[in-house]
Structure 1
Amino acid sequence: MHHDSVHVPKPSLTEVLFGWFLRLVSVICFWFALNYWAMLIGFSHGGAGRFDLLSPEWRAAATALAVVYPVAAIGLWLLVSWGPVVWVVAAATELAMDKFYPGIFDSRPLLVLLHGAVAVTFVLFRAALLYQRLREARKVRVDSP
């Protein structure tokens, strides 16, 4: 029997690992979102992080991150192109909180290191995928005229 459908190539190991990496980052983003929501509703920090008890700076930052992180988590989990973009917005917000406003927001060097490691790993994966696609494009195919 001859198949009428187009043959879909199997994803490479790099593509599979990249998908797993994005899903791992998605789980981490969801954890950050839960932490921000727990802080805002008074579930964590002994109730001291409740929205009505926060300073205006923390209200703006925590509220924005409580919304942006779940959106980033969904985009990364679904492996869509806007997922990493939304993650960059969330990470840049937290990096700005840490580096530009250290007197207002707590310094969290481990968080900065985590965001940096994720960004470097993402760029390395994208470079490896680009190299792989360029190498595949240069291969001689039997169906070429």
Structure 2
Amino acid sequence: MPLQFAKAAPLAPTVLLWYLRSLAFFYFVNGLMHWARIIGVLGPGFETMPAHVQVATVYFALLQVVAAVGLWCGAAWGVAAWLFSAVAELVMHIGFADLFGSAWLIVAFHSMTILVYVGLAWWTGTPENTGEILRMPEE
């Protein structure tokens, strides 16, 4: 029996998956840090935080851990949860800077990760990576 090699897979889907997994690691650690704030391990006690900060902390503690699991699996719901979390944090720090502060490092991070994701998703969907060429139907 002759030796057969596997067909070379396109690079873009693999790069996108590992990008999502690196985001998953970041979001899992960040979600655990929010949980640590809730139980009082990090920073001031949860009870002493203003109500709007408590709500945001619980929201991100739940959503970022869920997003991390979905991103690690490469699931569409993980990407959706990640985008909900990232956009919510962007709105928090840009639209409500008087309440939550203007954390420009966080704004830059989320903006760049979303732009990189859009670029990688576009690259993954190109014909050389999917093997499909879309054409208009003939009339």
Distance (Å, rounded) in 2 between the aligned partners of 1:10 and 1:63: 44
Kindly indicate whether structure 1 or structure 2 has the higher relative contact order, using CA contacts under 8 Å at least 6 residues apart.
Answer: 2
Give me the TM-score of the superposition, normalised by structure 2: 0.84
Work out the CA distance in 2 between the residues paired with 1:82 and 1:10. 28
Q: CA deviation at 1:96?
A: 1.4
TM-score under structure 1 length normalisation: 0.81
Q: How many pairs are equivalent?
A: 129
RMSD between aligned residues: 1.9
- 1:25-104 to 2 correspondence within 5 Å? 25-45=23-43, 48=44, 50-104=45-99
Distance 1:135 1:103, change over 3 A: closer
Counterparts in 2 of 1:133 and 1:101: CA distance versus 1, 3 Å: same
Shift of 1:106: 2.4
2: distance between equivalents of 1:52 and 1:73?
A: 27
Corresponding residue number in structure 1 for 2:102: 107
Which residue is 2:9 aligned to?
11
Q: Residues 10 and 129 of structure 2 are in contact (CA less than 8 Å); yes or no, is this contact kept in structure 1?
A: no
Point out where structure 1 has 5 or more consecutive residues left out of the alignment: 2-7, 139-145
How much identity, in percent, do the aligned residues show? 26
With over 3 angstroms needed to count, the CA separation of the structure-2 counterparts of 1:134 and 1:101, relative to structure 1, is same
Q: Choose 87-96 or 70-79, whichever is displaced more.
A: 87-96
123 and 55 in structure 1: CA distance in 2 versus 1, 3 angstrom threshold: same
- Unaligned ranges ≥5, structure 2: 134-139
1:119 paired to 2:114: yes
Segments of 4+ moved more than 6 angstroms: none
1:30 CA displacement:
0.6
CA contact (8 A) 2:27 2:68 kept: yes
Determine the structure 2 residue equivalent to 1:142.
none
